[in-house]
Structure 1
């Protein structure tokens, strides 16, 4: 069963005072590609390619079902689309090459003191990067942070996509049956992008999702007619123009499609010593319904988190909230679009 559409919210912040249960750490598969990790700091080494057998301690590029570990003395650049992995633990550094579109499929990613970088604040990622979180081995609990997620404990998650203009408003009313809408500003939006039109009725179910078939200035041709009218006027000085949000991003973190039946999606969680800098990213099929502390993205009892943020993101078709900041101060939540959330 698919979720019914609900209106999106801009810059949605859902603080929660949540208790968090302890669990057991997940074990690595006995056939893991791994380098020994130690608690002592190790100086960063020259970057090496994932596709190069010499990068890996056993001289073999990771294969399907492997539990991969990137040790503290490793600085790896993902330059190929690897087969589906069992898991990925990062104590060193993993970066995505910006020379091609890339996909990474795994049960979970554990940033244990390590870093995962896709683009940077100074140089946003320009190709497509997709991380897909699977659930082939259910019930794991990685250092009390659960399963099917990107878990950050003392590490750094840095994801920077190239989309900044995330939402606008209607320039005029869009009538039911229309195949075009005019917006105030469509700069940076592209043919093939998915958008959401907020309901301007008392019924929130009149929010609609469409794909841009073509663009002419600020006029968007849609892939199919609108079912409902969307109001686009200022009346008596009150701006009642409906919002239009961009759902597509070039960096996407998602659960595999089985989550649509189970409502058990992926999640991103930061705990003690973690840092997250997330911009221009799409979170899809994320959150784990009826599972405490498993949200699309979640800062969990970190304390001071000055400089950390989620901005210009798209969070849609989720199963447990959108953004949760719990026991954490100074996180910036700005200019995000959410749609069809539980």
Structure 2
């Protein structure tokens, strides 16, 4: 369930990261057939809270608003060893009561203070990963990823990675089509995998004609075809070694992981929007057979194709 969403606002909150939570969960998109959220801001006390940029945000609720939340979003804030105890306790109690919690950037330190990272994998902005690991040695910090989903705790890296983590959660709970529709409204990429590197060496084509964008577009339209790195490299007129390096530079991941991610996205859409048998969907998406699709579904999404269809196909068809 994802209905009651509370964003935690502390003094010196970073406004962009707070805006991410507001944009994904705080806007009414019901006229487009999208779900709405009971969205609220809560801090250590009601009233104005200073932002990192110098202006203030009016926060209507204190920490008691976290009780009964389905999702608590802890946005970026100044990195320090202590945070207001009532907020820390409310975040911990919300998770103990069944809520998910999602941190953006340095918000992971609030989760660490609440003991929610103990025994879990986590991440934060690359500038702070060493400090997170030192301060909270019982968490396994993954320093070079966009986000980590260790349900019910999701941690993400800086700024745009928070968008990725929020859309990942929407996709996980409410389906790929809902996440795609929200991303389309926000004019952002509908899906970046959590394991993608935080730093991509070539985020934009340099205008020199050697961008892999045309090849990536071709791959998206031929997901049913089995392509080796050697074949893809030949299509890009590169050696396999140069191609693998360039692919990592432009996408932040490997050709194999990128293909699996794109194929799973297509499979999710087909499971939601068609009545095709799982075997047929597996073939259309390049997995070959239902067993391989089930394997990747379980490994990446923690569920099965049929369970996913039961969750998301009927609401969209009604």
**Could you say whether these structures have the same fold, taking a TM-score greater than 0.5 normalized by the shorter chain as the test?**
no
Which structure ranks higher in relative contact order (CA pairs < 8 Å, sequence separation ≥ 6)? Answer: 1
Structure in which a larger fraction of residues adopt strand: 1
| Superposition TM-score, scaled by structure 1 size | 0.27
| Superposition TM-score, scaled by structure 2 size | 0.28
Structure in which a larger fraction of residues adopt helix: 2
